[in-house]
A and B are shown apart, each in its own frame.
Chain A
Amino acid sequence: MQLQYKSQAVAKPYFIAAIGLFVGQILFGLILGLQYVVGDFLFPAIPFNIARMVHTNLLIVWLLFGFMGASYYLVPEETETELHSPWLAHLMFWIFLVAGALTIVGYLMVPYATLADMTGNNILATMGREFLEQPLPTKLGIVVVALAFLYNIGMTILKGRKTALSMILLIGLIGLAVLFLFAFYNPSNLVKDKYFWWWVVHLWVEGVWELIMAAILGFVLLKITGVDREVIEKWLYVIIAMALVSGLIGTGHHYYWIGAPGYWQWWGGIFSALEPLPFFAMTVFCFNMVNRRRRQHPNKAATLWALGTGVMAFLGAGLWGFLHTLAPVNYYTHGTQITAAHGHLAFFGAYVMVVLTIISYAMPMLRGREANPERAQVLEMWSFWLMTVSMVFITLFLTGAGILQVWLQRVIPDPQEFMTVQEQLHIFYWLRWMAGVVFFIGLMVYLYSFFAKDKPETVEVGGVQPAAT
């Protein structure tokens, strides 16, 4: 089986890099989980703040690799034309990979303050803010890669068929690139710094990334179910309308306690309380499309990932976000393990899973077959359940830790010190770490599934050799 468009093949290295960095992210997650209970683990070689930076930055970078790979794969098919410049896509792949790798090596080998000195942070100070810790050259590299990528995708869409699906993807990608520019704005007034920092962080994950996610999910469902494009694209518009109408003003749920006016408790509370709606619509959309399917696609694993994304994004981003989004609740839960619980399930359920969905659908095609052999799919589905269920448990244990933390540190009449409280949460942190180990096992099964072949005895033996005459 051949790709419909040769240039779709550039997606393959993007997906491979994404998976490789995913493994790195989880390894550092395990280090962090252990440091929560064995405080001096790897200290002073890899302090917690460095490991956390590696964990979160790897996540962002591998999801971006996934989004770019997804775009390079789906845009030629949507636009019915070859990619504008496969060569540029290859070049940007290597630039992004090398820049990403050098950044991680820099984090691990050089003290952060020295890294800041070496990389021009004194010219334009942008470092040392959560998730935006990258040195200036890396940030500039991200801008260059994003612009070249947008140019490539934009030119392809311009010369080809313009579908609603590819336009939604493009709007999401443009939003991603434009909003990243706020990473370069770092006023010395902490309140203003925080206010606009959220324009990158919130408006990415609770704004434009949802458009990218909807487009990827819509594309995979279109292909595996054979449902009419009109129906799918109508759903997509409804989903992204709800996402932006709730999510834009919903930014206010981060403005409750950072110095912004008190009215944000109302604006942010009401609109962010609506943020579960687009995710609920996505859940309904996924199941509805699969139920109305007009064909039986042989890639059952991809169908499972698509349905899983619908459910887990709703639970993680929708439900766990709603739990602590209203100001009277958030007053007590802000900045506790409740936030960590939500962060884990939301990122996994929405963005990790949607990238794994498109990889699951596209990777077999990129390797010259419509679907993987039966045994590989079974293993992939095992990895789906291992990772998904262990992530649910990570979330539940962190939620348990968070409830107890809030109670001891912020609710009871004689509140306790932060570290006194943390020591009483060890049981939850140990359980979380064990769930993390299971997640890692699931990830290893996932990796192995790419190399699994059918055992000889399961090969069909229907063919009869014509007798020699």
Chain B
Amino acid sequence: MSAFFTKSMARNIFYGGTLFSVLLFLALTFHTTWTLPQRDHRENLTPEVVRGKHLWETRNCVGCHTILGEGAYFAPELGNVYPRRGAEFIKIWIKYRPREGVPGRRSMPQFDFTDPQLDDIVAFLKWTSEVNTEKWPPNIKG
């Protein structure tokens, strides 16, 4: 970089560029927050869904699974598991995980959930599957 491009010019580009980007990002965030209710269907955030998310978090499900593509890549995507498997399959699957795992295979822990807790988890997964995700994932397999 030659002499006509000085350090103070570079500094001004940094401060100006950063300020502009922060403001643009905040404006886009504001607009996103504005339009989000139509996309996340928050009117369906029932107490069951809220409790389900809490169970999802306190069992660290995201440490193995992805949800809407985010999380760990060790176990299946669960953002669309509700339409893929249905409520009954999900509950039975979680309920009957062998405590000592499945020999040689990736194993999910036995969390000892009660039946109402299983209903909460299903409610959370159902709500998640109804979020407008721009048609992601590409197919039902996740």
Binding site for B on A (CB under 8 A): 35-36, 38-40, 43-44, 47-50, 52-53, 112-113, 116-117, 121, 125, 127-130, 133, 164, 186, 188-192, 194-195, 230-231, 233-235, 237-238, 240-241, 244-245, 248-249, 251-252, 254-262, 264-265, 267, 331-332, 334-337, 339-340, 409-411, 415-419, 422
Q: For the complex, give the distance between the alpha carbons of A40 and B102 in Å.
A: 7
B22 contacts across to A, CB distance below 8 A:
248
Return the contact of B106 from the options A40, A117, A129, A195 (Cβ within 8 A).
A40
Cβ–Cβ contact B57 & A256, under 8 A = no
Nearest-Cβ distance from residue B6 to partner chain A, whole angstroms? 7
Cβ–Cβ contact A234 & B14, under 8 A = no
- Show 6 residue pairs from A and B whose CB-CB distance is below 8 angstroms, ordered by the A residue: A47-B109, A190-B124, A240-B14, A335-B73, A340-B73, A418-B77
Return the contact of A245 from the options B18, B36, B64, B139 (Cβ within 8 A).
B18
A241 contacts across to B, CB distance below 8 A:
10, 13-14, 17-18
Q: For the complex, give the distance between the alpha carbons of A154 and B81 in Å.
A: 49
**Chain A residue, CB-CB nearest to B42:** A189
Given contacts A112-B60, A241-B14, contact A233 B7 (CB under 8 A): yes
Cβ–Cβ contact A410 & B141, under 8 A = yes
Contact size class for B? 35 or more
Q: For the complex, give the distance between the alpha carbons of A275 and B105 in Å.
A: 39
**Chain A residue, CB-CB nearest to B130:** A259
Cβ–Cβ contact A261 & B35, under 8 A = yes
Q: For the complex, give the distance between the alpha carbons of A38 and B107 in Å.
A: 10
For the complex with contacts A244-B21, A249-B24, A259-B131, 9 further pairs of A-B residues with Cβ separation under 8 Å are: A35-B74, A38-B104, A39-B105, A48-B64, A188-B53, A259-B133, A261-B32, A409-B141, A417-B141
List residues 110-142 of chain B with CB under 8 A from any CB of chain A.
110-111, 124, 127-128, 131-134, 136-139, 141-142
B139 contacts across to A, CB distance below 8 A:
410, 415
Q: For the complex, give the distance between the alpha carbons of A40 and B98 in Å.
A: 12
Q: For the complex, give the distance between the alpha carbons of A52 and B64 in Å.
A: 8
Q: For the complex, give the distance between the alpha carbons of A133 and B63 in Å.
A: 9
Given contacts A44-B107, A44-B109, A257-B69, contact A237 B7 (CB under 8 A): yes
Nearest-Cβ distance from residue B110 to partner chain A, whole angstroms? 8
Given contacts A127-B58, A230-B7, contact A189 B40 (CB under 8 A): yes
- Point out which of A112, A129, A259 has the most chain B C-beta atoms below 10 A from its C-beta: A259
Q: For the complex, give the distance between the alpha carbons of A416 and B134 in Å.
A: 22
Cβ–Cβ contact B13 & A237, under 8 A = yes
Given contacts A194-B70, A335-B73, contact A237 B21 (CB under 8 A): no
A interface secondary structure, majority: helix
Return the contact of B7 from the options A35, A234, A258, A264 (Cβ within 8 A).
A234
Q: Does B25 contact A (CB under 8 A)?
A: yes
Given contacts A40-B101, A260-B36, A410-B138, contact A188 B45 (CB under 8 A): yes
**Chain A residue, CB-CB nearest to B141:** A415
Nearest-Cβ distance from residue B92 to partner chain A, whole angstroms? 17
Cβ–Cβ contact A235 & B68, under 8 A = no
Nearest-Cβ distance from residue B107 to partner chain A, whole angstroms? 5
Nearest-Cβ distance from residue A72 to partner chain B, whole angstroms? 25
Cβ–Cβ contact A234 & B141, under 8 A = no
Q: For the complex, give the distance between the alpha carbons of A241 and B12 in Å.
A: 9
Given contacts A257-B136, A410-B138, A415-B141, contact A191 B60 (CB under 8 A): no
- Point out which of B31, B63, B109 has the most chain A C-beta atoms below 10 A from its C-beta: B63
Given contacts A189-B42, A258-B68, contact A244 B17 (CB under 8 A): yes
Cβ–Cβ contact B136 & A261, under 8 A = no
**Chain A residue, CB-CB nearest to B57:** A128
**Chain B residue, CB-CB nearest to A263:** B28
Cβ–Cβ contact A249 & B25, under 8 A = yes
B28 contacts across to A, CB distance below 8 A:
249, 252, 264, 267
- Point out which of B36, B53, B60 has the most chain A C-beta atoms below 10 A from its C-beta: B60
Nearest-Cβ distance from residue A89 to partner chain B, whole angstroms? 29
Nearest-Cβ distance from residue B58 to partner chain A, whole angstroms? 4
B39 contacts across to A, CB distance below 8 A:
191, 259-261
A244 contacts across to B, CB distance below 8 A:
14, 17-18, 21
